[in-house]
Structures are given as structure tokens and as C-alpha cells.
Structure 1
């Protein structure tokens, strides 16, 4: 993080976030993820306070009391039990205090099927941001969300049927699905619909054989988002970055074991969009720099705007592409217009 006052304030609010439920008004609890992203883009302690106060006032639900105990030898029995989030969080938090975060994360991900699509990828993102902030409570919360809301995409692919590249793999599943199977009011409900469709399971190709699948996924997802700024596609961009953070912490063999699950989850997300990925769009021509983009993102109260801008910043630092700055600039400017319109209509 930028400096000690910001880190101290961030940790204070991540600790305080424990009093919030996993779910929020009309969404899941994005507060801790947004706070980590804000701090990473240069937000002041005062701005972190403002965002936390806004979230608590407008979105947060109080966490219900935890009346049961889940032992570290029985946590897997709570797979898919949404009511167990609080108990699982305490179980993982106690385990992390004794064994450290990486051994606990590794043990959990070895025990149950990897389900990165859980909570529309937010459980994965929350876990990754907890890792980045080195905050045991948020790491425990991310793991608890992955287990309690577990959403596996049960599909297998034939290694003999390999996608030529990531875009081709996404396009293959998009074209296999029609509009009728992806009705739903949320990303999660549409993911469930696609996962249950035999056409999707038959259409999933093996991931391309490349040196770094994560790098190719990052390039493909930001390219798709630039061409068509769909809300679901936005989540594939932030989820791919989150997966990079998570997998970098794990032993190489385990990281390789988890990659196919990420590939299948992203394919399912693109199948819900029902839009070919090869739509042409003008090349980006951006007249602002990262300082301006981060300043506008830090001023936003929209958690998805904040997380996308932060993801683009981080990925651009790692593997520069004009699409990252262009996509981040577009979303923060649109958000600024929305804020101005709200002020005018009041």
C-alpha cells in the first residue's frame, strides 16, 4: 500500500467489515474488495472512511450471530450451505492463525472442486484481495464464501479438442448456446442455466496449449470488454486478475491443477453473454493518463468501477496494453457522468 496511515486505516475497516453479512442490499458485500482497490489507487484514509460509511449506511446488512461451530476437520460438509458462512469464516480464521494463510488456502482448494464462478466470481476476488492486503479475516471470508456459496461448473473437455486460442474457445461456447437458456436476473442464475445445458458441456474445448494461460486469458478478457463493455464480461476481467493473485501464492502443481476450473468458469460466463468475441471496434485513443483515471476511480462510490479500474492498473503494470487504460478511462468517465446526472436531478 502507499503508506502506513493508509494501510492502518484499511486494516481497521477490513476488521470492521466482519460485522457485515456476506450479502448486501441487492448484491454481495463488495465493501472490502473496493477498499483494497481504493487503497491501491492512492485513496487517503479520509476517502476510505467515506466509502466505508457510505457502504454501511446504504448497502450493508448486519452479520447474523454465529451459533454453531465448524471444526477444521468438518468444514467440507458445509459445501453449498449459505447459512454456514459465519461459522466457516471463524473456522478458517482460527486455522490461519495457527498454520498460516497459504497452507490453509492450499488445503481447502485441494479438498473441494475449484469453483471460481461462485457468487459471480466475487468469492474468488474477495479471497485474492484479502491475500493482497495480507488480512487474515478477509482471506478467511473469501474461503468461507467459496465454500458456503459453492457454484461448480460441472463440465469436462476432451484434450483432443483444443481451442486454437482463448478467443476461439470463448467463441465456440457462445455460438453453441441460444438465448432461451440464459434467462435470469443475475449473473449467478445465468451461469447456473448455462452449466446445466448439455450444449455448453459439449461445446467446451480444452484450453489452448500456451506458455502462460493466465496471460492469454487476461489479454482476451480485456479485449472482449473493450469491444463490448458487458457487465458479465467486466467480471471476467476482474476475476482473471484475482486468479493471478491467488495462483501465485500456491505451489506450482496445485496452481496448474486449478487452471482448468478457471477456464471452464470463464467459458460459462461468456456463454451467458451470447455475443461473439470477434466483433470489430476502433482502436483506443486515450487522452488521459493513469493519474487522472485513478483520481476519478477513487472518487467513485461504484464498487465495480473501482475494481475494474484497479484491475486494469495492475494488469497494465504487469503487461502493458492500451486497452487497459482505455477501458478504465471509459468506465470512470461514464460513472462521472452518472454522478453529475444524479446531482442535477435532485
Structure 2
């Protein structure tokens, strides 16, 4: 649990973040996600303010005025309408003033196809961090991002063989794409290209039969990232953790139909990586502990370093693996 002063400062800054657009200079708005990760790792209120000020100065774009009102019964008609982000955020925020946030989240996820690849997985991650911070504005923003930038990857698993494991499935789709580089200058553009590529659509396997698909995915993601520290692969690690946070708030009856969407999105991410994901890697031997690694992350202004370190910390607490500490240490420049 956060200290009272830290929690108050975090919510103050998350409130202030509402004046920033979904996009940022050369990237997306990572500020709220990084703030939550910093706070959870133990950053002081002063450090949170310092990061926020840096982001506003160097990356933030002002949110455009919201000129329309979206009724809560009509939000689904704005699926894929990027210009509707601000109005959707206000719609979901207003909705949560009357109903529990978990109910709103569940209702939205039941009504439209789950698209975790949206915004290069950042919509899912932002929603999860909003849930973790118990901040309705950020929950609303995460939902609005999922809807307004909706990137579904529709694949049927009928008559497809099941993968032996998540790791094997990821390697399989990556190899099936050959040596051609995925077209696009961003993760999202490359995901779109792969989603429509016949090689990917032929190669993707059904999820493995396992007692916990999400655990299998998380293990495969960190193993792949340790072997191949690719920027896209990093996002599969943080996305798997975000999915865990989200799914923990939902009934099992809703989680089950969401898992295939997560599976397809992650397979597509690996299909964009033209690197040997199945090479043998040296077992990590890191001469550092979590406290030192987190301290390094907390003074970093790199939002991906901050989120990756926090993700590794959380996943290691749940299922310890030397790969989490090693990957986090490498991210902060210690490995």
C-alpha cells in the first residue's frame, strides 16, 4: 500500500494528466503509467512531480477541446474513431460516477471484440495501471483508448492444432514470417501489417492446453525478452502483466473469452520480430538485488525502463524467476 503522501500526489498528478492528449511527441502518453509504476516502487512525491514536469516539458501534447457528448448507450458506435478519445473518456468517467468501475469495464469488454494490441498494447497497460491506482480518470482513459484506437486481430482457431507451449508458438510464428521485415515505422503499424499477412494467418496455432494460459504466456514473454531484448518483445512482457491485473478484476466467465484475443495479439507481436527468439541464452548471474535495481529505475526518465522494471518486480513476486531480476537489471544498465 502506498504511503498517504505518495498516494495523494499520485492522484493529483493523474488528475492533472487529463489535460494531456492520448498521443505525445513521437510516442504515446506514457506519463500516467510511469507515475503509477514509480509510486508503487517507492518513489517520493517530489520524484513523481519531477517526472510529471519533465514529461509536460518534453513530451506532452495538450488535449484538444471536447466538443461532443457521448451518451453511455452510444459509446460502441465510436469504435475505431481516434478523434473520440476525449469524449469517450468523459463518457466512461461519467458512467463510473453511477456504477462501479469493475461493472463498467466488464460491460465494455463484453460488447466489443477484445483488442489488446491497440496502441501497441498501451491501451491495455494504461487501463491496468488505472485499475492498480484505483483512479477512475485513468480507468476511463484506458477504456477510451481501447475503443477509440481499436486494433482487433481476428483469427479463428477452428481446426488449428494447439501449440505445445506459448514459447513454441511464438517461435513458430516468427519463423513462419521468414526474413522479410514487417512494414511500418511503429509497433502498431507493424502489427497491422502482420495481422493481414497470409503467412501469419496460416502459421498461428491455437493456445496450448494448460491450467493457466496467462502464466505460460508470462514465462514465455520474459524468456524471449531475456534471449532477445527487442523493444516489441518488451511490450509483450508488460502487456502480459497488465492482462493479469485486468483479469483479476473480472469474473472467470468473462476472462475465458478474452484470452484468445490476448493470445492472437501476442503472437502477432512476435511475428514482427525478425530475430532468433529460440536461441540459447546464458543463465543470468546478476550481482545486484531488487532494491538497487528499483532505485536505478526510479531515477530514470525512461518510461519503458520504469514500467519494465516494475513489471518484472511484480511478476517475480508472483512466480520467482532469475530472468525477471536479470531483465530488469539489464534495463537499468546494470546487466
Could you say which TM-score interval applies, normalised by the shorter chain?
over 0.9
> 1:179 Cα deviation (Å)?
4.0
> 1:143 Cα deviation (Å)?
0.1
Does the alignment pair 1:88 with 2:83?
A: no
Residues 169-207 of structure 1: per-residue CA shift (max 9 Å, x gap): 111111111343612110000000000111111111110
> 1:154 Cα deviation (Å)?
1.7
> 1:160 Cα deviation (Å)?
4.6
Q: TM-score of the superposition, structure 2-length normalised?
A: 0.98
Residues 145-170 of structure 1: per-residue CA shift (max 9 Å, x gap): 00000001122223550000111111
8 Å contact kept, 1:181–1:197: no
8 Å contact kept, 2:228–2:276: no
Does the alignment pair 1:227 with 2:232?
A: no
Residues 35-87 of structure 1: per-residue CA shift (max 9 Å, x gap): 00000111000000000000000000010000001111110010000000000
SS for the counterpart of 2:98 is: helix
Q: Distance in 2 between matches of 1:181 and 1:282?
A: 27
**Mapping of 1:43-192 within 5 angstroms?**
43-158=43-158, 160-180=160-180, 182-192=182-192
Tell me which residue corresponds to 2:269: 269
Q: Distance in 1 between matches of 2:113 and 2:68?
A: 24
Tell me which residue corresponds to 2:296: 296
Tell me which residue corresponds to 1:245: 245
Unaligned runs of 5+ in 1: 336-346
8 Å contact kept, 1:156–1:201: no
8 Å contact kept, 1:156–1:204: no
Deviates more, 1:95-104 or 1:233-242: 95-104
8 Å contact kept, 1:79–1:150: yes
Tell me which residue corresponds to 1:196: 196
Question: Root-mean-square deviation (CA), in Å?
Answer: 1.1
Q: Distance in 2 between matches of 1:308 and 1:278?
A: 21
SS for the counterpart of 1:23 is: strand
Q: By percentage of residues, which structure has more helix?
A: 1
Q: Distance in 1 between matches of 2:180 and 2:313?
A: 37
Report how many aligned residue pairs link the two structures: 335
Q: TM-score of the superposition, structure 1-length normalised?
A: 0.95
Tell me which residue corresponds to 1:338: none
Unaligned runs of 5+ in 2: none
